């Protein structure tokens, strides 16, 4: 049982009461009481793949970075090359520690010439902010602002996301920004909204950040416009089918982005950044392990995080799953694990240990879907 | 929520129907609604000897694996192969086609520890 003291530390988003009214099953995630599912993970997942769904992402963090030296400073603490960003553009990037391990993965937008908007993981807000502050100690003119509490956030995802926005914004006359871009708009009710054309599901969609007090207003607009309410359960199956890593499961301070297969978001030739030396060494010596996609070959129990991954034909355990579950789109068990490089090639036969029984599995190319 | 009067219920949400010394076991309508989307059922081997409270089966949803406990000690005499082929039966017909296993009870008096429908209704509300 959760003790009362622990209970008090679980934070609520401005939408918590509305989720319960809508029939959500709530549970703690990353220190927040969040909706896990409403009608069911399967139907919510398929709604996002086929139509549109809305997720509460108010738990995610928003950090502003401003100042004359912001580009150079951020370039030294993030892996991607943000000098290529025009105002209004964004990119996926990573914040590393000195060992090359992942402090957080995030999306950064250039909201103005010398202003950047960072959307970070809920469980990492304080860690990220302290890390950034510690990196900014010797830098003049860098202003950091953690505005995570001020915003509520909704992710509207699915092939009908544009139609949903058109209806939500009736009379506003604002078009959504292009893929990976950001727009700040004034809504009819006076709200200042931040719209980001991104997501974590592999479908078209956008994230809308509004003042916390208006969260219910915008959630209800999304529902009226045809979105299914979706919980973190479907968010997890959707991202796993696309092999998007989950921080804390697939990414942590012990694994580098190269090992996680995120080399595309690491620009080694842009100049110095925290963690670069370790990555350079890994590039030269080669990786010893790699985050791989694993598919179950037989009908069996869904693979789940921490299950043992073993060599085929009763071989030794070689890793444990960092993520796993049943894919609602493929109706197959899927997962990811950091495998020794000798076992990391697509086609490698493996076994997953589920409660003492072995089930055949195989390394496959990413993504699953 | 459907809670049939003639069944006995455990706190862990299994129902039991006693016929002589044969106890048929499944999970309640409430339990299946909480789990949603049952995608896999692991059943015990016929002939296994179990004690009351032993985890003997596993019902898995997309999100989680849940142990199912024997409400009474005895021998597993039959399992419902149909739910292994079609786990959704646990959702659609939890008291009928979605039953899980049958135990030949050693001591049916163990079942007095279970709740009746009224007690279970209070337990989940």
pLDDT tens digits, A33-48: 999 999 999 999 999 9
Report the alpha-carbon distance of residue B72 to residue A118 in Å, rounded. 56
Helix axes A215-224, A161-168, angle to 10 degrees: 120
Q: How far is CA A341 from CA A311, A324, A348, in A?
A: 13, 20, 11
The partner residues of A296 in beta bridges, in order of sequence, read A361
DSSP secondary structure of A317-353: EEEEEEEEEEETTTTEEEEEEEEEGGG-STT-EEEEE
Kindly report the average pLDDT of chain A as a whole number. Answer: 95
CATH architecture of A61-133: 2-Layer Sandwich (3.30)
Query: In chain A, where does the domain assigned CATH 3.30.1360.120 lie?
Result: 4-57+150-241
What would the mean pLDDT of B56-66 be, rounded to a whole number?
A: 94
Q: What is the pLDDT of residue A5?
A: 44
In angstroms, how far is the first alpha carbon of chain A from the final one?
A: 37
Comparing CB atoms, the residue among A36, A301, A355 nearest residue B63 is A36
Question: What's the gap between Cα A115 and its chain centre?
Answer: 22
Cβ pair B26, B99 in contact under 8 A: yes
Say whether pLDDT at A219 is over 60: yes
With CB atoms and an 8 Å threshold, state whether A302 touches B60: yes
- The pLDDT, as a whole number, for residue B1 is 85
Other Cβ atoms within 10 Å of A72 Cβ, number: 14
| In the block, residue with structure tokens 């809308």 | A208
When pLDDT is averaged across residues A58-85 and rounded to a whole number, the result is 96
What is the reported pLDDT for A136? 79
Q: What value, to the nearest 5°, has the Cα angle with vertex A77 and ends A73 and A82?
A: 70
Q: Report the chain B residue with the minimal C-alpha distance to residue A44.
A: B37
Q: Is the pLDDT of residue A147 over 80?
A: yes
Query: Residue A4: its pLDDT value, please?
Result: 41
Please determine, for residue A7, whether its predicted confidence score (pLDDT) is greater than 70. Answer: no
Residue owning tokens 């150079």: A72
Task: Among B34, B36, B65, select the one facing A41 at the smallest CB separation.
Answer: B36
Cβ contacts (< 8 Å) between B42 and chain A: which residues? 301, 355
Sign of CA dihedral A339, A343, A349, A350: negative
Report residue B53's pLDDT band, with 50, 70 and 90 as the boundaries: very high
The answer to whether the beta carbons of residues A362 and A348 sit under 8 Å apart is yes
Distance CA A329, CA A345 (A): 24
Q: Which of A39, A41, A355 sits opposite B62 (nearest CB)?
A: A41
pTM for this structure? 0.93
Q: Does B62 touch chain A (CB under 8 A)?
A: yes
Distance from CA of B15 to the nearest CA of A (A): 23
pLDDT category at A145 given cuts 50, 70, 90 is: very high
Mean pLDDT for the stretch of residues A188-212:
96
Q: Do B61 and A36 touch (CB under 8 A)?
A: no
How much of chain A, in percent, has pLDDT values that exceed 90?
Answer: 92
Residue intervals of chain A classified under CATH 2.40.30.110 are 288-364
Average pLDDT over residues B58-71: 94
Q: How does pLDDT run across A307-319, given as a tens digit for each residue?
A: 999 999 999 999 9
Higher-pLDDT residue of B47, A137: B47
Residue B84 has pLDDT above 80, yes or no: yes
| A326 to B62: CB separation less than 8 angstroms, yes or no | yes
Q: State residue A140's pLDDT score.
A: 78
Decide if domain A4-57+150-241 falls under CATH 3.30.365.10: no
Q: Token pair for residue A326?
A: 């049943």
Could you report the per-residue pLDDT of A237-294, keeping only the tens digit for each? 999 999 999 999 999 999 999 999 999 999 999 999 999 999 999 999 999 999 999 9
In the 8-state DSSP scheme, what is residue A201?
A: S
Distance CA A18, CA A15 (A): 5
pLDDT confidence bin for A230, thresholds 50/70/90: very high
In this structure, chain B runs to a length of 125
Q: Which domains does chain B show, CATH number per domain?
A: 10-105 (2.40.50.100)
User: Rounded CA gap, A215 and A227, in Å?
Assistant: 15
Distance from CA of B30 to the nearest CA of A (A): 13
- pLDDT surpassing 50 at residue A1: no
> Is A305 touching B (CB cutoff 8 A)?
no
Q: How far apart are CA A278 and CA A309, in angstroms?
A: 27
pLDDT at position A8, please?
Answer: 55
**Chain B residues touching residue A304 (CB < 8 angstroms):** 65
Look up tokens 């694993």; give the residue: A294
pLDDT exceeding 90 applies to what percent of chain B? Answer: 94
Mutate to test the interface with B, among A326, A352, A353, A357 (most CBs of B within 10 A): A326
Average the pLDDT over A175-198 and give the result.
94
Does A40 contact B at CB distance below 8 Å? yes
Tell me which H or E stretch contains B42: strand B38-42
Q: What is the C-alpha separation between A129 and A146, in angstroms, rounded? A: 7
Domain with CATH 3.30.70.1400 in chain A: 61-133
Q: What is the pLDDT of residues A151-160, one digit of tens each?
A: 999 999 999 9
Kindly give, in sequence order, each residue whose CB lies less than 8 Å from that of residue A289, ignoring residues fewer than 6 positions away.
A259, A319, A338, A339, A340, A341, A344
Angle in degrees, 0-180, between the axes of helices A70-77 and A125-135, rounded to the nearest 10 = 120
CB atoms within 10 A of CB A314: 8
Q: Does domain A288-364 have CATH number 2.40.30.110?
A: yes
B117 and chain A in contact, CB less than 8 A: no
Tell if the CB–CB gap between B42 and A25 is shorter than 8 Å.
no
- Please, are residues A304 and A325 in contact by the beta-carbon 8 Å criterion? yes
B41 closest CA partner among B102, B105, B103, B99: B99
């Amino acid at each position: 049982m959760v003790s009362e003291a622990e209970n008090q530390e679980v934070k609520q988003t401005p939408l918590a009461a509305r989720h319960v009214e809508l029939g959500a099953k709530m549970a703690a995630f990353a220190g927040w009481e969040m909706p896990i599912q409403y009608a069911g993970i399967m139907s919510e997942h398929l709604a996002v793949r086929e139509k549109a769904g809305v997720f509460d992402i108010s738990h995610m963090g928003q950090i502003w970075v401003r100042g004359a030296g912001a580009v150079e400073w951020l370039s030294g603490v993030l892996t991607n090359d943000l000098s290529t960003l025009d105002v209004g553009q964004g990119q996926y990037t990573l914040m590393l520690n000195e060992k090359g391990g992942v402090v957080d993965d995030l999306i950064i937008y250039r909201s103005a010439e010398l202003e950047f908007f960072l959307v970070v993981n809920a469980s990492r807000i304080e860690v990220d902010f302290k890390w950034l502050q510690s990196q900014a100690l010797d830098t003049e003119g860098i202003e950091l602002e953690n505005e995570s509490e001020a915003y509520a956030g909704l992710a509207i995802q699915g092939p009908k996301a544009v139609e949903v926005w058109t209806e939500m914004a009736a009379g506003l006359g604002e078009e959504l920004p292009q893929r990976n871009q950001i727009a700040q708009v004034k809504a009819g009710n006076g709200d200042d909204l931040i719209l980001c054309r991104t997501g974590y599901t592999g479908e078209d969609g956008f994230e809308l950040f509004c003042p916390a007090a208006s969260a219910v207003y915008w959630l209800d607009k999304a529902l009226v416009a045809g979105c299914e309410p979706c919980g973190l359960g479907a968010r997890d199956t959707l991202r796993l089918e696309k092999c998007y890593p989950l921080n804390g499961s697939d990414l942590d301070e012990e694994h580098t982005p190269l090992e996680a297969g995120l080399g595309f978001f690491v620009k080694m030739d842009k100049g110095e950044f925290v963690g670069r030396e370790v990555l350079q060494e890994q590039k030269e010596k080669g990786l010893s392990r790699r985050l791989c996609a694993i598919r179950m070959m037989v009908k069996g129990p869904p693979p789940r995080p921490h299950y043992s991954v073993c060599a085929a034909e009763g071989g030794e355990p070689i890793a444990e799953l960092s993520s796993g579950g049943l894919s609602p789109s493929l109706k197959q068990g899927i997962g990811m694990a950091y495998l020794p490089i000798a076992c990391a090639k697509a086609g490698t036969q493996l076994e997953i240990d589920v409660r003492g029984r072995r089930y055949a599995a195989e390394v496959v190319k990413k993504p699953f879907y | 929520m459907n809670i049939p009067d003639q069944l006995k219920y455990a706190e862990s949400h299994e129902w039991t129907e006693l016929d002589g010394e044969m106890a048929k076991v499944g999970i309640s309508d409430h339990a299946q609604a909480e789990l949603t989307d049952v995608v896999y059922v692991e059943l015990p081997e016929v002939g296994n000897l179990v004690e009351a409270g032993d985890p003997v089966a596993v019902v898995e949803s997309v999100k989680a694996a849940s142990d199912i406990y024997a409400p009474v000690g005895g021998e597993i005499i039959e399992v419902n192969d149909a739910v292994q082929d079609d786990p959704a039966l646990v959702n659609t017909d939890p008291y009928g086609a979605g039953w899980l296993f049958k135990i030949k009870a050693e001591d049916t008096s163990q079942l007095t520890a279970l709740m009746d429908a009224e007690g279970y209704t209070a337990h989940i509300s």
